[in-house]
Amino acid sequence: MTDVKRMRAVLLRMADLLRRSGHGGWAEALDMQRAELSRDALAAAAAIRCWYGGTGGLDRVALDHPDAEFEALRDELLYLCDPSPVDAPIPPLRRVEGTVVRLRCGRCATDFPGFAFADQADPEADGLACAASREADELVLAEPEPEEQSAWRAGGDLRFARRLAEEYGRPDLRVQRRRERASEGRMGAISLRRARPVPGAPVFACVRCDGESRVVGELSVEEFEAAGGRVHTAGGLYR
């Protein structure tokens, strides 16, 4: 998502066309997300992406009279929320489950959240990643592209983290990185595979100083959000 101003204009025009054609409910939904853009563009983009695909989706809405402008705006909106070719097939949504872990850095004493993805029978669950904000109790669950995953494993390349920051306008996001202990392999190596608590006190990189951080607590997503935290999903993920 690179142009919030343009997205706001697209939502405004689409809502007007929908309202004129008797789709007041959809018009109201677009107005709500247009207001949300100013407060939390990431959450608004995630909500809008969920409108595409499946029975009753925004991509199935038909106006009273075929309208080329509406069709073009609808495609542009999806692109603005998730930059990819508008004629590409919409990937199926994947559900992610897990718990929020509290991490504490041994170097700077920062306390920050992480995410422990639950075991899933689907092997494609491997490769899920979590990014945490350096400024707030906020998490983003996402999937790195295959080349981003390979580059990360090969030497800690940060292109996945840069993509998240650029697409969502969030330079405060840092990808959750699990460090291997000396007994498990190379010291200091990092992985984008599922970061979940396991016996042996896993060590993670601090989102602020990159120091060694360990799990000091665990709570449900509901408990985390009730305490003021936020968990977002990006791309084709939902929870």
Instruction: Mean pLDDT check: name the lowest of 39-48, 168-177, 195-204.
Output: 195-204
What number is the average pLDDT over the span 207-233? 91
Asked if 231 contacts 225 with a C-beta cutoff of 8 angstroms, the reply is yes
CA dihedral sign of residues 3, 95, 59, 19: negative
> How many residues in the chain?
239
103/179 Cα distance (integer angstroms): 13
- DSSP at 188: T
pLDDT over 90 percentage in the chain: 15
143/116 Cα distance (integer angstroms): 14
135 or 167: which carries more pLDDT confidence? 135
**Per-residue confidence band for 54, with pLDDT thresholds at 50, 70 and 90:** low
Contacts of 198 (CB under 8 A, 6+ apart): none
Helix (H, G, I), strand (E, B) or coil at 72: helix
Contacts of 90 (CB under 8 A, 6+ apart): 52, 53, 59, 78
What's the pLDDT at 126?
A: 62
- Cβ-count burial 121-152 (b if 16+ within 10 Å, e if not): eeeebebbbbbbbeeebbbbbbbbeeebbebb
- DSSP at 174: E
Q: Which of 71-75, 115-119, 174-178, 222-226 has the highest mean pLDDT?
A: 222-226
Q: Enter the tokens of residue 96.
A: 């992610």
List the Cα angle 186/189/195 in 5-degree steps: 120
Contacts of 124 (CB under 8 A, 6+ apart): 94
